Chain A
């Protein structure tokens, strides 16, 4: 029997029979696109004219001086159109949808970045678009919901389960099981059944290809370490892809430590002892689950990292020891956010600030002639409500109160 889409013992395609033909068609469509030399150049062309690719690699001189350790470089995925690396995957899948002749796209979203990116892509390509988003995330990411709707998408709040990212994925799978003839499911990260992990990391590899060339040109050497935050794992796989073959480059994935690993209020599947291997949402990987295999509630200040599973490709790298996994707490993340704003004039997404926090923790002890790359996967203006709350900014609070009173009048 054929088992496809495995990374070590992780991955696979554990899906209801109703979707098997659709997934097979997607596998075939992706394979043909990948083998067509014109496809990647069309993709690159689109990303350089519609988004800002190649995104810059910024030498963070002030931060480097601040820590007195290695030279720190930031890969600026926040400068992508729509403000995060999510667009890389979405535009690639958009081109694939065109080849497959479908007319509707659906997606799940946590932070809302992937939802906004998908709604943007749908507007550009002329597809109709439905975004599933957990009710909890809808409440904490209203600005993104607003933009998705303005871009023409229908946003469906998911009121089942824990009402977060995993529940939005379940609901998107249910929609797809019903409407696969017209509809493509634009999964936002390198999770889910084969071919999604491979396909999403293929599109995100554009980050790794660029950054490798940039670091060699700008610093004259390969990096000592590369840091990326890990929710589903797509930005990490993207940036890591440039250095997988360089054994001397240490790759570090930083998961959501939430309120601290010991509180169990976190989303650290690989960096904590609480994750175990399971099969859900179509694939085998490490999940945060109980002894019965029921998924646990996860927690993170960053909605985009608040997820039970992790890319099967990263689970394989974890077991092989190719990638080291750490966790950063909500508190460390806010501290890192503050620091990078003040020192470099860059507002990071709370998700991306996990990578910063992981790097800042280790930088002071690292050798001074080293080079570190941190993938700044998204920008933080979307998090204004969360960050303002966390910082307890009183002027912001009174602004909101005044605004609310205006609306009430």
Chain B
């Protein structure tokens, strides 16, 4: 489902944009308005992050937003309700991003059934490798949710081929070592990694971690189907507010 959407969109645009918001940050109401602004700016897909108290793959920007949302009393139930409201209102694919404990604690079956009911079509859960995720993947696919796996430049080609067997929708390639939000030096080294990913899968590739400017997106044109922008938009939200985020996405490609 996600894959078809991406293929179709590619007929109009040579690179798609995936944005990211933390559900409940700065507040439930403001998240909704932020999503509206970003969708109106023309992004093609969006990650909705359900905050978790121990987000080990995230850098300070998303970490602080997650903490603020939790400190504000946001519950997982609120995230499902907000997701439902968002998918009812806007006509692009939305994915959940969260950590495995949120899924595990709710129960994999229940989590994915509710994810489907909320109109979400994919799930990015960075701390569940396929080795641990047999029932996770089964519950996701039974509910028509694409589990999005992450490919990393540190992984061997054998490992990438192994992961490629489990992906649906697209693969999320991380541009570098480290966590979200740090600077990435976009260079030819990245090409070698992306070539290895292409060699392992027919699915579209998204690239994230450090994508923060029009130049970065330009660099990725023709290399990946989707550029993922997370922390940079959140930084702008924190310093300049919602409208600035809309302007940023509108001029990104």
Contacts and interface: CB of A to CB of B under 8 A. Distances in A.
Contacts of B99: 280
A173 interface: yes
B60 interface: yes
A14 B127 contact: yes
B129 A13 contact: yes
A21 B157 CA distance: 11
B163 interface: yes
B131 to A, nearest CB: 5
B178 A177 contact: yes
B131 A2 contact: yes
B76 A292 contact: yes
**Which of B52, B75, B154: most chain A Cβ within 10 A?**
B154
A402 to B, nearest CB: 40
Contact of A17 (B76, B102, B129): B129
B100 interface: yes
Given A18-B152, A19-B154, A293-B76, 16 more contacts: A15-B127, A17-B163, A18-B154, A18-B177, A21-B159, A160-B60, A170-B55, A174-B178, A177-B177, A278-B101, A278-B104, A278-B105, A293-B52, A293-B104, A293-B106, A295-B54
B67 interface: yes
Interface in A1-23: 1-4, 12-22
Contact of B54 (A170, A276, A292): A170
B4 to A, nearest CB: 25
Contacts, number: 116
A62 interface: no
Interface size class of chain A, counting residues whose CB lies under 8 Å from the partner chain: 35 or more
Contacts of A281: 54, 56
Interface string B31-69: 000000000000000000000111111011001100100
A143 interface: no
B119 interface: no
Given A281-B56, A293-B104, A14 B132 contact: yes
Contacts of B21: none
A136 interface: no
Contact of B152 (A17, A160, A278, A292): A17
A293 B101 contact: yes
B252 interface: no
B154 to A, nearest CB: 5
Interface of A: 1-4, 12-22, 160-161, 166, 170, 173-174, 177-180, 276, 278-282, 289, 291-295
**Which of B57, B100, B106, B149: most chain A Cβ within 10 A?**
B57
Shortest beta-carbon contacts, A-B, top 4: A293-B105, A178-B178, A293-B101, A294-B53
B211 interface: no
B52 A20 contact: no
A178 B54 contact: no
7 contacts: A15-B127, A15-B129, A174-B56, A180-B177, A278-B104, A279-B104, A294-B70
A178 B177 contact: yes
B151 A17 contact: yes
Interface string B138-162: 0000000000011110111001000
B75 A292 contact: yes
A116 to B, nearest CB: 25
Contacts of A174: 56, 59, 178-179
B130 interface: yes
A363 to B, nearest CB: 39
B237 to A, nearest CB: 19
